[in-house]
Amino acid sequence: MTISRRGFLAGAAAGTAGLVVSFYVPGAARAAAMTPTPASPTPNAFLRIGSDDSVTVVLAHAEMGQGIWTGLAMLIAEELDCDWAKVRSEHAPAAPVYGFPGMGLQMTGGSSSTNGEFDRYRTVGATAKAMLLRAAAARWKTSPAKLTAQNGVIAFGGKTLRYGEVAAAAMALPPPKSVTLKEPKAWRLIGTAVRRLDTPEKITGRAQFGIDVAFPGLRTAVVLRPPAFGATLQSFDGSDALTIPGVEQVVKTANGVAVIAAHFWAAKLGRDAVRATWSTPEGGGVSTAALLASFRDLAEREGAVVATTGDLKPTLAGAARTLDATYEVPYLAHAPMEPLNCTVKIDGDRCEIWTGTQFPTVDQGAAAAILGTTPDKVTIHTPFLGGGFGRRGNPASDFVAEAVTVAKAAGVPVKVIWTREDDVRGGYYRPAYVHRVRVGVDAAGAPAAWHHVVVGQSILVGTPFEKFAVHNGVDATSVEGIADSPYLEHTAAKHVSLHSPRTPITVLWWRSVGHTHTAFAMESMIDELAHAAGQDPLAYRLALLAGKPRFARALETAAKEAGWSTPPPAGRARGLAVHEAFGSIVAEVAEVSIEDGRIKVHAVTAAVDCGTAVNPLGIEAQVQGAIAFGLTAALHGKLTIEGGAVVESNFHDYPMLRMFEMPAIRVHVLASDAPMGGIGEPATPPVAPAVANAVFALTRQRLRTLPLRLAPEAR
Amino acid sequence: MAIKLHVNGAVREVDAPDDMPLLWVLRDLLQLSGTKYGCGMAQCGACTVHLDGQPVRACVTPVATVGARKVTTIEGLSPDGSHPVQQAWAEVDVVQCGYCQSGQIMTAVALLAKRPDPTDADIDAALSGNICRCGTYVRVREAVHVAARLQRGGK
């Protein structure tokens, strides 16, 4: 594979000896409208090689657990042929050069970091290697083609040079016009199990998260926010707060009150002591019970057309049998373990921000707008993210904009820390959805007519992404995985429509976005059809997937490894599901029982086709984690809103999956030459339907609402 | 008021109100930020530290109640990540985002002090108070077994 360069830069970063490589790929400018400024003067490099042979990889994306700290470094190291023991990673600052190829925006999300950077990061490594070889060749007065390089050492005729010894000379050379990347069979690192580079700091407490930022003069703020969606601040009295030792200031935010103190504890006590009056939301405030009822009503009517094929009505009328089902999922909070936080230091028209963000470009623009300055004057430092799951990538920049407002009002550097209660109640949720599905089957039980109405809030309307993914009233992320379902390839008549009601509740993508609910509806309904046809759920699916070998292979592998053809232990049953998300296909088999009236998931067996598998050890971890994330939603997750206010507040009433509930998980990564997909999210969607399908197999109870709740008689 | 604490082998004096949780004393007054805030109500275990070897939730431990007991935080476990539990965590590649791992490790260390060869049920019982939103539980379980082996001098 040959990649040609464009806009290549090579130059010294301030204070760094050695080779610095920065690279723009074609397409980075395509979404230039989303890039707020031209190249900023920050050291815009992807790679530094020090005279001490150290190799520092600069990450355009944020490490939030998904393993790119290691995976993206592997891409550069593969082509660079350096000593892996000398490789370190660091987060890039926010700057246009780090915009995502094809998008321009610097962001982490959509399970896209590894596949989206696969070419760019390998090219950086190959380019640097070519320059090092030419520098060495010049030293030895020979041709670069006669040199070999391995493990960071260049060799020629019995002589050797370490990369660090020629890095400075290499830096002075013009970069090659093009480089040839290795063929996959020549890979030494890609495809092997590589342990994480961020382990040493994360097992010793040295890892710096946003909440750990500290410097002289920094104050901590805790903010009082509206008690209900739609409530606005009428007045406040901070006099009691100011009597608390350590509390220094009480300031107003856009729609709240911030208490600034010497440390968190004083700020929190101060916040709790603020007396505020709020307006009553319109109509007494939104409630999820009423909203879901209205969603169910909407589901009886046609919405905006997502896809339509064939003639639905006559096909339904002529079907051998029709099945109806309504599936529902609630609002969910992301609840990353590190509560949201953001540190802001304003200095004249400049501003420094430290925060765990998935959206530095957007946050930079939001901060600049509040401060009346330009984005290039806003420096964003990204420490490790203590989980993101979508919550730290908000088009509205809520937690960053608020912190900038607080720091501006306070006139001192401030770290705003959200309490867990603030996080659970602080909005931006996975939206609730209702799916109404009516299927007409033919004499063999296969779907001949598929009528599907989806109801739920759009995530993208009103954001900068609207123009990319919302067309004719349809937010593609609301319906992903339905009309394009592999099961419906031969379904003669299909009609899918969407209602996107607007509510006061703020919503956001949540690990695997629309697939979180579409996979539950699709894989549950397919299972219902299989049972209605009196067929084995695996055999029924495989028959529909006859022309979809990747899906079929994933399903067959998961089923075989889970022992599908042999009976489960007494008192247990198995269920399966397969779904494609972010370019990867994941099949899962769940084995469940009922213990003490509760669903117990004993094992999940997963088969993954993600195309090229860069780091199988990391992929296994992401699949395990995504299954845990999906199980939390399947077994526990539900937010209730009454009178505009969120009822749940912390882990006692908004529970997470715990160790004793964690099933044994076996992950099979399939060898695949398919285009590389993502891996952070795709294993989440199949687990809820796999568990629901297993519960049906065990109890004959079809649970169509998440979280799954058994009827009393089955407990 | 001035309170004397024994933290990671050193005597430290802090000026803190009696009811200030040990967590915030460690993080904001002693700059030991390895102990994490996750919930503030002893639900998640991210703030787990040892008092005389016993695991406690620092977020609900008023600093005045610590007294002469010896506080050990993740920073005090080893100077260089060489504690057998830390070694096991590295070998098994446990961490993801890493935020909860100080608490997971401190809980595991306390478990192994009491039960040098724990069963899966022992591990579930001891570590179910530590939430990991990334879902590292499978590897945490495995790493505790590896740590038990390392502590017995095995390989």
**Into how many domains does chain A fold?**
3
DSSP code at position A332: B
pLDDT at A601 over 90: yes
Paired tokens of A671: 């060898």
- Which pLDDT belongs to residue A13? 33
Measured between CA atoms, how close is B135 to chain A, in angstroms?
Answer: 4
Helix (H) / strand (E) element for A473: namely none
Q: Do A202 and B134 touch (CB under 8 A)?
A: no
Nearest CA in chain B to A70: B96
pLDDT at A40 over 90: no
When pLDDT is cut at 50, 70 and 90, the band that residue A172 belongs to is confident
- Please state, in angstroms and rounded to a whole number, the distance separating the CA atoms of residues A388 and A508: 12
Paired tokens of A535: 């067929």
Same domain? For A53 and A92 the reply is yes
Contact A113/B at CB under 8 A: no
- Which pLDDT belongs to residue A712? 82
Cβ-based contacts of B100 with chain A (< 8 Å): 337
Same domain? For A120 and A141 the reply is yes
For A386-430, write each residue's pLDDT tens digit: 999 999 999 999 999 999 999 999 999 999 999 999 999 999 999
pLDDT at A15 over 90: no
Paired tokens of A342: 């953001």
Q: Do B93 and A66 touch (CB under 8 A)?
A: no
- Give the burial class of B66: count Cβ atoms within 10 A of its Cβ; 0-12 exposed, 13-18 middle, 19 or more buried: buried
pLDDT at A32 over 50: no
- Which pLDDT belongs to residue A130? 96
Paired tokens of A287: 């409630």
Residues 247..266 of A with a Cβ closer than 8 Å to B: which? 262-265
- Please state, in angstroms and rounded to a whole number, the distance separating the CA atoms of residues A633 and A610: 23
Residues 130..189 of A with a Cβ closer than 8 Å to B: which? none
Amino acid at A217: G
Domain ranges of chain B: 2-76, 84-151
Q: Say which of B29, B105, B135 has its CB closest to residue A624.
A: B135
Range of lowest pLDDT (A19-23, A221-225, A621-625): A19-23
pLDDT at A462 over 50: yes
- Give the burial class of A714: count Cβ atoms within 10 A of its Cβ; 0-12 exposed, 13-18 middle, 19 or more buried: middle
- Which pLDDT belongs to residue A714? 60
For A235-262, write each residue's pLDDT tens digit: 999 999 999 999 999 999 999 999 999 9
Same domain? For A409 and A437 the reply is no
Measured between CA atoms, how close is A473 to chain B, in angstroms?
Answer: 34
Which one of A68, A202, A222 makes the best mutation probe of the B interface by having the most chain B beta carbons within 10 Å? A202
Q: Say which of A384, A627, A651 has its CB closest to residue B43.
A: A651
Three-class SS of residue A698?
Answer: helix
Parallel/antiparallel/unpaired status of strands A470-471 and A474-475: antiparallel
Return the bridge partners of A353, or none. Answer: A344, A380
Q: Do B99 and A659 touch (CB under 8 A)?
A: no
Among candidates A491, A341, A522, which has minimal Cα distance to A417? Answer: A341
For A634-675, write each residue's pLDDT tens digit: 999 999 999 999 999 999 999 999 999 999 999 999 999 999
% of chain A with per-residue pLDDT over 70: 93
Measured between CA atoms, how close is A247 to chain B, in angstroms?
Answer: 13
Which CATH fold topology does B2-76 show?
Ubiquitin-like (UB roll) (3.10.20)
Report the side by side order of strands in the sheet with A304-309.
A304-309, A493-499, A447-456, A433-441, A321-329
**Position A424 in a domain:** no
Q: Write the DSSP assignment of A93-156 as a string of letters.
A: PS-GGGPPTTT------TT-HHHHHHHHHHHHHHHHHHHHHHHHHHHHTS-GGG-EEETTEEEE
Residue A2 vs residue A339, higher pLDDT? A339
Paired tokens of A316: 């339904």
Same domain? For A499 and A482 the reply is yes
Q: Among A383, A417, A451, which residue terminates a domain?
A: A417
- Which pLDDT belongs to residue A100? 85
Region A310-322: mean pLDDT is: 97
Looking at every residue in chain B, the average pLDDT score rounds to 97
Measured between CA atoms, how close is B68 to chain A, in angstroms?
Answer: 23
- Please state, in angstroms and rounded to a whole number, the distance separating the CA atoms of residues B136 and B128: 12
Q: Write the DSSP assignment of A360-418 as a string of letters.
A: HHHHHHHHHHHHTS-GGGEEEE--B-S--TTTT--TT-HHHHHHHHHHHHHTS-EEEE-
Q: Say which of A385, A628, A656 has its CB closest to residue B97.
A: A385
Which CATH fold topology does B84-151 show?
DNA polymerase; domain 1 (1.10.150)
Tokens 């009691």 — which residue?
A240
Nearest CA in chain B to A415: B28
Measured between CA atoms, how close is B82 to chain A, in angstroms?
Answer: 9
Residue pairs spanning A and B at CB distance below 8 A: 179
Contact A214/B at CB under 8 A: yes
Same domain? For A473 and A347 the reply is no
Among candidates A510, A483, A484, which has minimal Cα distance to A685? Answer: A510
- Which pLDDT belongs to residue A12? 32
Same domain? For A109 and A192 the reply is yes
Region A604-610: mean pLDDT is: 98
Q: Do A662 and B135 touch (CB under 8 A)?
A: yes
Measured between CA atoms, how close is B113 to chain A, in angstroms?
Answer: 19
pLDDT at A49 over 90: yes
Angle at which helix A616-635 crosses helix A687-699, to 10 degrees, equals: 50
Looking at every residue in chain A, the average pLDDT score rounds to 93
Parallel/antiparallel/unpaired status of strands A493-499 and A447-456: parallel
**Position A423 in a domain:** no
Q: Do A203 and B20 touch (CB under 8 A)?
A: no
Nearest CA in chain A to B92: A195
Which one of A201, A204, A391 makes the best mutation probe of the B interface by having the most chain B beta carbons within 10 Å? A204
Q: Do B39 and A420 touch (CB under 8 A)?
A: yes
Cβ-based contacts of A335 with chain B (< 8 Å): 133
Angle at which helix B137-151 crosses helix B101-114, to 10 degrees, equals: 40
Residues 276..305 of A with a Cβ closer than 8 Å to B: which? none
Cβ-based contacts of A65 with chain B (< 8 Å): 95-98, 134
Q: Are A193 and A238 in contact (CB under 8 A)?
A: no
For A198-240, write each residue's pLDDT tens digit: 999 999 999 999 999 999 999 999 999 999 999 999 999 999 9
pLDDT at A18 over 50: yes
Region A118-132: mean pLDDT is: 94
Among candidates A536, A447, A532, which has minimal Cα distance to A486? Answer: A447
Same domain? For A473 and A448 the reply is yes
- Please state, in angstroms and rounded to a whole number, the distance separating the CA atoms of residues A246 and A262: 5
CA-based Rg of chain B, rounded to a whole angstrom? 15
CA-based Rg of chain A, rounded to a whole angstrom? 27
Contact A616/B at CB under 8 A: no
Q: Do A659 and B46 touch (CB under 8 A)?
A: no
- Which pLDDT belongs to residue A22? 56
For B16-71, write each residue's pLDDT tens digit: 999 999 999 999 999 999 999 999 999 999 999 999 999 999 999 999 999 999 99
Three-class SS of residue A197?
Answer: coil
Q: What is the CATH number of the domain that holds A359?
A: 3.30.365.10
Paired tokens of B138: 């499978």
- Please state, in angstroms and rounded to a whole number, the distance separating the CA atoms of residues A322 and A344: 59
Region A335-354: mean pLDDT is: 98
Q: Do B135 and A209 touch (CB under 8 A)?
A: no
- Which pLDDT belongs to residue A6? 36
Region B121-133: mean pLDDT is: 98
Q: Say which of A387, A417, A617 has its CB closest to residue B93.
A: A617
The interface pTM score, or ipTM, of the predicted complex is 0.98
Same domain? For A106 and A173 the reply is yes
Same domain? For A132 and A74 the reply is yes
Q: Do B81 and A200 touch (CB under 8 A)?
A: yes
Amino acid at A575: G
Q: Do A66 and B137 touch (CB under 8 A)?
A: no
Same domain? For A471 and A522 the reply is yes
Same domain? For A407 and A476 the reply is no
Q: Do B127 and A659 touch (CB under 8 A)?
A: yes
pLDDT at A2 over 70: no
Cβ-based contacts of A659 with chain B (< 8 Å): 123-124, 127-128, 130, 137, 140-141
- Please state, in angstroms and rounded to a whole number, the distance separating the CA atoms of residues A19 and A55: 9
Among candidates A332, A512, A288, which has minimal Cα distance to A423? Answer: A332
Q: Do A650 and B132 touch (CB under 8 A)?
A: no
**Position A422 in a domain:** no
Helix (H) / strand (E) element for A401: namely helix A398-410
DSSP code at position B65: G
Which range of residues forms the domain containing residue A24? 2-202
Same domain? For A349 and A454 the reply is no
